[in-house]
Structure 1
């Protein structure tokens, strides 16, 4: 069975509920590991630098393994990669329980990050292939299910585990959370009885050719850039809005946490319930999403009014969720002729790279011009995308097309 043969995959309508459940369970594992590593570091009295390196090591591992996993899925199928990644992550969690120093924790964080793309790329590749059979309103369901686990279930569950059992007792439980979805994966993910057409052996040259797709395919490059910016702005909001509201606007920590939750819910609800708008009104809805995004960013960058901050957080969540649906559907279109495994690998590379860029932006310039004004940094970036979307109605549309395609 190959990822490029639509008929080889079981009817998605029948398996969709199980697939969404598998995605959510996989997201819970990611959320548990992310918060668990931070809590483990705090229990070791790690410095701020060490905590940053622990978190950064996991992201680095994810980035390093994303492209190789895309190639391996084309050769061996999504099920095998998902099972290997889950098993290795579960075993690493057992080893994490006994660590008592920050440096080994950084190394284990890197190794755990290397396991994540085996699961993420496998799920993304299969879902992209199945989008051809799904309703337009279901395009964002994979990402929405993952975020439910990563943002809404994983973090509070990790906090409860560490409060009750400490690091030594929590990591074996987290390992089980990584292992249990393997049972469901046998039912949901397709195996691979034959190598996908055009699949390559893992090599440096093959990885270079995979990255070269961004140079050869202007539409793929433009979509990747939009995805990068969506993830960068989303991560910037989630990471720095607490500091902005508490330090600059005088909010309580509880109010700031509630703001992040409401923003995340708006993002997830848009992924689950608003995707049909993009399919029914493509010429209007996509530029409208970008314009809505611009309004939210402008308010966040300029206002100190609490009501407007709440409103803009919701608008930003909705607009970014809808834009995520746009990027996912376009990735799927490219996957049909370039290989879903390869495109899924690129998507898993681009998304976290954008998130990392959002964090680095605040770290580099926040102390110079302040964190809140940096929301305005994203305004001209998304304005270019909005003008590109409106180009059929603009006499100078070729200018904006050239900006994105070069």
Structure 2
């Protein structure tokens, strides 16, 4: 049931993202407005992830998940009522403030359930979500907008949010609250959550790795199509296929390699995934033909998939130690921050040195992470087992 809820959530978000882009183009939005609409989908996520994590600790995930789903679904249903790019921008911004209520809540439950299902299933949550978001959702969005139009598609998106509300008690009702009293939502407490990154070495190392991984993934997704067209001289369709090549191995790793991570251990998996990712980025940065770019994408998906499983298992253990809601909020902040960094800074650097050259810079970054991990293995070693007090 957890996989079903995660799949529906990923599918709805994937359809919504592509539909919003197509709708913005249909409304005549220029490049600047398209950039604002794209960025607006992260504004609320960056601002609300930590506060929502604190609220989950205080009230539990169920009520927050339902509230976020109902409000976001209502805004999606109302979105096409005013055919204006400015109104679309306002709606996407508003929705971004309520989305953390959904995925921070689900991440919190996932951390707890991982203790029951085993760490070998660590990648399933992200895998089911990403399959809907990046593989099925975009294809479905194009068909839905053609057959239902934008108003009908947005109403269908709103219905999927209601569906997740109906499914949520079966999943979120299993969450057992912490015995310790949760702190109230105050600015000082929000600052204290950020201070965890300074004081907790284990948490900080996971967040740094997550930031780097999401930066690479975001840059690849944003710029591999123009890189393929400019460097390899392929069509837009062939260049778009590079996303699928990377996405397939990424999701394959999430679904199949959890047991490998458990057997081999986090330290070796991190070393291997750093090396694999650095090598893949090197191939992408030096390739001049389609097939080497495809090979680089396949290797990158595999490396990032292994990295994601290792990070998810570590973050779950840290959550059991310091508070799952708090850690889920921090984790939800770090990932989008890395994605925003990869797309914006990568684009700026790429404009000066060439987009493909950015892959070489990123390869050097992961090479540095590999060197640091070898010199200080405790940074990427398995975290301490949580105390059984929960």
Q: TM-score category by the smaller chain?
A: over 0.9
Alignment map for 1:7-406 (pairs within 5 Å) = 18-190=1-173, 197-282=180-265, 283-391=267-375
CA distance in 2, matches of 1:167, 1:44: 11
* Shift, 1:66, TM fit: 0.8
**Corresponding residue for residue 10 of structure 1:** none
CA distance in 1, matches of 2:237, 2:105: 37
* Shift, 1:100, TM fit: 1.3
RMSD: 1.8
* Shift, 1:238, TM fit: 1.0
Q: SS of the residue aligned with 2:116?
A: coil
Q: SS of the residue aligned with 1:139?
A: helix
Structure 1 residues 79-116: Cα deviation after superposition (integer angstroms, max 9, x where no partner): 11111111111111111021211111111101111121
TM-score with structure 2 length normalisation? 0.93
CA distance in 2, matches of 1:259, 1:108: 31
CA distance in 1, matches of 2:29, 2:179: 46
CA distance in 2, matches of 1:198, 1:384: 41
Structure 1 residues 196, 52: closer, same or farther in 2, change over 3 A? farther
Whether the aligned pair in 2 keeps the contact of 1:76 and 1:192 (CA below 8 Å) is no
CA distance in 1, matches of 2:271, 2:217: 18
> Which of structure 1's runs of 4+ aligned residues deviate more than 3 A?
191-196
CA distance in 2, matches of 1:271, 1:377: 26
CA distance in 2, matches of 1:229, 1:24: 25
Structure 1 residues 388, 276: closer, same or farther in 2, change over 3 A? farther
Whether the aligned pair in 2 keeps the contact of 1:298 and 1:375 (CA below 8 Å) is yes
CA distance in 2, matches of 1:27, 1:189: 17
**Corresponding residue for residue 404 of structure 1:** none
Whether the aligned pair in 1 keeps the contact of 2:16 and 2:157 (CA below 8 Å) is yes
TM-score with structure 1 length normalisation? 0.90
Give the paired residue count.
Answer: 379
Q: What stretches of structure 2 of length at least 5 have no aligned partner? A: 381-390
